[in-house]
Amino acid sequence: MSYRICFVCTGNICRSPMAESVFRARVEEAGLDDLVEVDSAGTGGWHEGDGADPRTVAVLEENGYDSNHIARQFASSWFSRLDLVIALDSGHLKALRRLAPCPKDAAKVRLLRSYDLTATDDDLDVPDPYYGGMDGFEECLEMVEAASIGLIAAVQDHVEGRAA
């Protein structure tokens, strides 16, 4: 049985597809691609069916990550098939927890930067780069990469514990 993770931001064209691509690479590097499924979505459906923002694609490709993506909206029915829902900022965290059908599902929602050992508790949001320049997308990638180190360790511990 696979461990399923979904990264969620606002429109699923900037932060969450970036996190999905980076984390999928970490999963493959860890040799867990047969055990862990990685996905992403948005809290809203404004960009459903669109590809990732061209700036997201550029930053991902410049750094050796896959940029193949089609945006979609998160649905509350997904909670039943997911093990972990990763919010990119506190607004997404609140929206997803409200969307959760039960407390057990709400407990599956975590902030991505809570896995970054260098982040402070008052600075756990990955800022939305959409209205800025390329530097915002590069900063977003740095935050996602840093948090992915702690997240892959947590997922690996969980998966290995489940398999034992």
9 catalytic? Reply is yes
Q: Please tell me the predicted confidence (pLDDT) of residue 1.
A: 75
Which pLDDT tens digit goes with each residue over 70-129? 999 999 999 999 999 999 999 999 999 999 999 999 999 999 999 999 999 999 999 999
Helix, strand, coil in percent for the chain, rounding step 5: 50, 15, 40
Q: Residue 151 pLDDT more than 90?
A: yes
6 catalytic? Reply is no
CA distance 132 to 53: 12
Fold of 3-163: Rossmann fold (3.40.50)
Question: What is the pTM for the complete model shown?
Answer: 0.96
| Percent over 70 (pLDDT), the chain | 98
Amino acid at 116: D
**Of the listed 14, 15, 24, 83, which one is catalytic?**
15
128 catalytic? Reply is yes
**Domain boundaries along the sequence of the chain:** 3-163
